[in-house]
Amino acid sequence: MSHRVCVRPDVVTTTPWLAPIVWDGTFDQTVMDAIYKQQNITVATTVFALGKYVDFLKDFLETAEKNFFLHYNVHYYVFTDRPDDVPAVTLSPGRKLTVLKTASSDRWQEITLRRMEMIEKLIEEHLIHKAEYIFSLDVDCKFYGPWGAESLGDIVATLHPGYYGESRNKFPYERRPESQAYIRQEEGDYYYGGAVIGGRVDRVLKLTKTCRKQLDVDRENKIEAVWQEESHLNKYFLYNKPSKVLSPEYLWQDFKAKPPNIKVIRFSQVIKNYAQVRPNP
């Protein structure tokens, strides 16, 4: 790769605070691996599969084993209320899976937003000295392309595929001042997806702790942000800018056609029947 030419003139590759936005062609995989391989890092990966979402695990894990941090130490942590239904997927050397029995809920909103406190606890009680990096990923997704060390950074956000390139007034931020997730009309940089969060474990601990506290305050005030923990995540990133931003190559949606500026889809939400998989409407 030449270091003199702009390799992706068709997309924005840097945020206004000079964090890289990762697109295919903007990084050299060999250099990335040379940096991180010598550190012998472990990438903890949390995935929640409660209720019928346990059915998404097989494809998620099988495709992860073909694409996600190949030849690195990866430790999956599967939170589920149905441990017996976790599929047996053969893992490559250096890769582990731990099942964590988790209480269910009859509200999907509660399931998605409680991920913050569960990740916070997992890091505090277990991961802080066991892994260097962590990713929290939605389970109703598949890997279609390589995802590796180029995605690592202190604190990593992902552009939501539904809103990248949109103007700020279209972002579905929480607009009620009563919620801790409130963002004013004239604020906000991007709309980030709740499906992919990553970074160094201590930095993700700070993120999950802060969001969990804000969610607690909202709960006391009997208000639930429009997109649950995703709204609080967007508020967090407004004041704590991500050090690296992943392009929608890292969070696509199967129902969307691939535009020319998406050269490779790495991870994508599968098409699901919400009425069938969620515990409540």
Residues near ligand UD2 (CB under 6 A): 48-51, 53, 108, 111-112, 138-140, 160, 193-195, 227-230, 251, 269, 278-279
Query: What is the closest distance, in whole angstroms, from the C-beta atom of residue 34 to ligand UD2 in the complex?
Result: 32
Query: What is the closest distance, in whole angstroms, from the C-beta atom of residue 46 to ligand UD2 in the complex?
Result: 9
- Looking up tokens 């595929």 gives 161
Q: How far apart, in whole angstroms, are the C-alpha atoms of residue 164 and residue 217?
A: 30
Query: What is the closest distance, in whole angstroms, from the C-beta atom of residue 161 to ligand UD2 in the complex?
Result: 7
Both tokens of 63, joined, read 């495709």
Is-catalytic flag, 230? Answer: yes
Query: What is the closest distance, in whole angstroms, from the C-beta atom of residue 254 to ligand UD2 in the complex?
Result: 11
Measured from the Cβ of residue 165, the count of other Cβ atoms closer than 10 Å reads: 12
Closest CB to ligand UD2 among 111 and 149? 111
Closest CB to ligand UD2 among 71 and 258? 258
Closest CB to ligand UD2 among 27 and 102? 102
What residue is closest to ligand UD2 based on CB?
A: 194
Closest CB to ligand UD2 among 53 and 72? 53
Closest CB to ligand UD2 among 148 and 193? 193
Query: What is the closest distance, in whole angstroms, from the C-beta atom of residue 57 to ligand UD2 in the complex?
Result: 9
Question: Which of 120, 150, 224, 230 is labelled catalytic?
Answer: 230
Residues annotated catalytic, as ranges: 230
